[in-house]
Structure 1
Amino acid sequence: MQLYNKLSSKERAELIDQAGKNRLTLSFYQYAKIGNPQIFRDHLFITWDALDVLGRIYVAHEGINGQLSLPADRFNEFKAHLDSIDFLNGIRLNVAVEQDNKSFLKLKVKVRKKIVADGLNDESFDVTNKGVHLGAEKFNEFIEDEKTVLVDMRNHYESEIGHFKNAITPDVDTFRESLDIIEDDLKAHKEDKNLVMYCTGGIRCEKASAYFKHKGFKNVYQLEGGIIEYTRQVNEKNIENKFLGQNFVFDDRRAERISDDVIANCHQCGSPFDVHTNCANEACHLLFIQCDSCKSEMNNCCSDNCKEINALPYEEQKALRKGQGNSNDIFKKGRADHLPHKKNLRNIYEVLNENKTE
């Protein structure tokens, strides 16, 4: 029985076009104890492949984290399957703000050690002792309180294109890095400040809130369902939107526009722009922000060197890559030194000092 994807992205895209059906992009997560992640993974793949589900799903002993798309007319079947699983019965599904039939082009269900790479020893603290969840309306109230420190738990390339008003946006490459930085910078305010956190869909804050409570923070809160659920509530309940710009997402859409504000800049020329792209040179593939003008001038490349390589015949490019491995720039997400216009993210001290002077 087939337990892995056999179609290329191009082949899958053609099938989606031929089907002519609208697809839904959604995400969900759940911490739970899964005895045999491999058996659970295989069960999910067999069932979801039959429903034409595509996406990226991680399964571990600690639970499941999924971002996926499926035909809209099969949503009820999919939901019924989730509800048939005890720990997924009634789970909240974060439906994407902006839909794209080709947000995912393969079904990948993978067994991992953790559903989010947090680097934490879960045996050292109570992971169920989480912070207080805040809906959109209550969240808006909290972030206007002078006693609140609002922290973005995402990485620098995510917060660069969009974040909440007055949020601290740690200049980090990974979720794990941010935990120690936040604890150290806020150690003098463990009792007198409200620590309010948010992320894309809520999963990072689930673990982070328990971790910070373990570290002695007395008033810990998190945005229920993350930016995605916040946006849904804002739209449905006519609540003031305090998110600026775009919400970075980990699929082929790359982002969802939450407000008309453009808070980022092209990394090459500095003009206002907030759309990420990958360098066209396959040996680089750097994720960075590039405006339409620079994209045309640079042929979708991040540097003159990459532009020259990308202009070579494919076989010559392939020969140059042979034995070289991947460029480290692939994982830097806009860190490359040759990009002159990179946003300076605000640190915790700046925000605290701003609050003192207001």
Structure 2
Amino acid sequence: MEKYSILLYYCYTQIDDPEKFREEHHRFCLENGILGRIIVAEEGLNGTVSGLKADCETYMAHLKADPRFASIDFKVEESDKHAFQKLHVRVKPEIVHSSLRHINPVQRTGQHLSPEEFKQLKDKDDVVILDVRSNYEHMMGRFKGALTLDIENFRDFPEKVKEMKEKLEGKKILTYCTGGIKCEKASAYLLEQGFENVYQLHGGIIKYGIEAGGEDFEGKCYVFDNRVAVDVNKVNPKVVSQCHVCGRSDDRMVNCANPVCNLHVPICESCGWELEGACSPECREHPEKRPYDGTGYYQKEMNGYNPFKGMARK
């Protein structure tokens, strides 16, 4: 059986002509069997992609050969198949949507900690571990003892930090997210607000799982591909989530089959089949409900996106 790789990466760097780069990069992905979601912006590049192991090696070498992306830290996971069904390469104002567009992580950001450094520091008395992800992500899994924020989107981070000021003052703040990208701006914002001892887990939860065994990360890590959620902890795993329907302990993450709802929640297999992938009887009866195949993952609609925009057809 051929082996596949799943790559998670980002790079804050200046891209002067994002549209031109999008066209060239999209063509390269098509020619080399790469699928996934890639965001291009003037501030950099952010992607999660999959492909045959050899094709992913070619992809990584191609990006690193460009001086703009030489510092990319790829998080590489093995797989027995593609993690995506399509390829989207889009130009957007930011590589991760936030309310912190004025912040440039290249100029200033929190001190990067390797997974091992994070592991050694996280349990100290003068430390606060801060999860900068959204509700549906930390609901599925988070570090033991972490401070989580009640936010639906990362753009709400600044407002919630203001509410948490007393819990953060005078502490060493260790931020973390899935792959590290949100922490770049989150930690920079904390520094901007006057907090002095600000750190971030370099490579995020995924790299921590790969290099440090995932110790004390409880539950699963929500990911933005067909897998929906992945195991991280190989040392002392623990289920922390409950089925949204019956309340039983379960870590099976799904999207509600009703696209109007599309709620991201844990639903056990039994309730999943009973409600045909919906999160409630009402959503099960919704006229636009998507067919349920047992996974709870639904490929995003193209929403008018043309993958061949600007590309010369041969």
Q: Distance in 2 between matches of 1:203 and 1:128?
A: 15
Determine the structure 2 residue equivalent to 1:82.
63
What displacement does 1:165 show?
A: 0.9
1:313 to partner: Cα distance: 12
- The question of whether the paired residues in 1 share the 8 Å contact of 2:218 and 2:240 is answered with yes
Measure how far apart 1:120 and its partner are. Answer: 1.6
Percentage identity across paired residues of the two chains:
36
Query: Whose helix proportion is higher, 1 or 2?
Result: 1
AA aligned opposite 1:300 = G
Q: Note if 1:108 corresponds to 2:84.
A: no
In structure 1, how many angstroms separate the alpha carbons of the residues matched to 2:34 and 2:256? 29
Residue correspondence of structure 1 range 319-334 to structure 2 within 5 A: none
> Superposed, which structure 2 residues align to 1:1-358 within 5 Å?
21-96=2-77, 99=79, 101-122=81-102, 128-187=107-166, 189-190=168-169, 192-235=170-213, 241-259=215-233, 260-309=237-286
In structure 2, distance between residues paired with 1:281 and 1:188: 38
Distance 1:170 1:280 in 2: 26
Residue aligned with 1:201, SS: coil
Q: Matched residues in 1 for 2:178 and 2:186: separation?
A: 14
* 1:185–1:294 distance in 2 versus 1, CA, 3 Å: same
Aligned to 1:341: none
One-letter amino acid of the structure 2 residue matched with residue 281 of structure 1: N
Secondary structure of 1:76's aligned partner: helix
Calculate the TM-score normalised by the size of structure 2: 0.85
Deviation at 1:136, TM superposition (A): 1.9
Matched-pair contact (CA < 8 Å) for 2:257–2:290 = no
Deviates more, 1:103-112 or 1:134-143: 134-143
Cα separation, 2, equivalents of 1:63 and 1:35: 10
How many residue pairs get aligned? The number is: 289
Aligned residue identity for 1:302: C
Computing the radius of gyration from Cα coordinates, the structure with the larger value is 1
| Alpha-carbon contact 1:280-1:310 (below 8 Å) kept | no
* Preserved contact between residue 11 and residue 69 of structure 2 (Cα < 8 Å): yes
Deviations 1:57-96 (A, max 9, x none): 0000100001100111223321221122111125210113
Question: Per-residue displacement from partner, 1:12-66 (whole Å, max 9, x unpaired)?
Answer: xxxxxxxx63321111100011111000111100111100100000000100001
Unaligned runs of 5+ in 1: 1-19, 315-358
TM-score normalized by structure 1? Answer: 0.75
Deviation of 1:103 after TM superposition, in Å, equals 1.2
